[in-house]
Amino acid sequence: MTPNKRATVAESAAAAEPVKDASALADPVAAMPIREGEDPWTAEEVQEVRADLLADIERLQKQIDSAEGDLAGLIRDGADSAGRDPADIGVANFERDQEMTLAHSAREALAQSRDSLRAIEQGTYGYCSECGEPIGKGRLQVHPRASMCVRCKQRAERR
């Protein structure tokens, strides 16, 4: 394992670990915002969202490690292009670009999952990053990484 890979794995493990002194933080269940007409969060629901985020972090880290390994192989194999058919070089370049895109997308999702987990632990989870209103319990249960309410997300996608 390379030093950079060790640092990445160590950083992801540290970011995924819960805060040790939970007494210093707000009660996660009490701090969870709800929209009008929603039932309050239960401890089990909050724990389920946390578990989903932790599983997401683990899955995404494995996906990144795999993509980086594949990418390293493609770069190593593509370094010696002398005498290769131009079509083979094009395919190799396409595969490299695809692996880079997959790794980048997984890194972004990993950062969102870590941010969401940290927000639960800090008692700030569930508020829209744009308008500050509650995102909505149902949306967060389906998409725990959501950082915007539906209205703000739709507006952002129209831009």
pLDDT attached to residue 14: 42
Using an 8 Å Cβ cutoff, are 139 and 103 in contact?
Answer: no
- Which has the closest alpha carbon to 33: 109, 114, 146, 112? 146
pLDDT band at 146 (very low <50, low <70, confident <90, very high): very high
Residue found under tokens 């640092």: 7
Q: 45-54 burial string, b = 16+ CB within 10 Å, else e?
A: bbeebbebbe
Q: Which two tokens stand for residue 26?
A: 């707000």
Least confident of 63-67, 87-91, 100-104, 123-127: 87-91
The DSSP output letter for 133 is S
Q: Would you tell me the crossing angle of helices 3-16 and 86-122 to the nearest 10 degrees? A: 30
- pLDDT score of 102: 87
Q: Is the pLDDT of residue 119 over 50?
A: yes
Q: Give the whole-angstrom CA distance, residue 74 versus residue 96.
A: 6
Tell me the sheet residues that pair with 127.
Answer: 134
Query: What distances in angstroms separate CA 24 from CA 42, 46, 117, one per listed residue?
Result: 20, 18, 16
Q: Mind listing the pLDDT tens digit for each residue in 47-84?
A: 999 999 999 999 999 999 988 888 777 777 665 655 67
- In tens, the pLDDT along 8-29 reads 433 443 444 444 334 334 566 7
Q: What is the DSSP string of 58-93?
A: HHHHHHHHHHHHHHHHHHHHHT--TT--HHHHHHHH
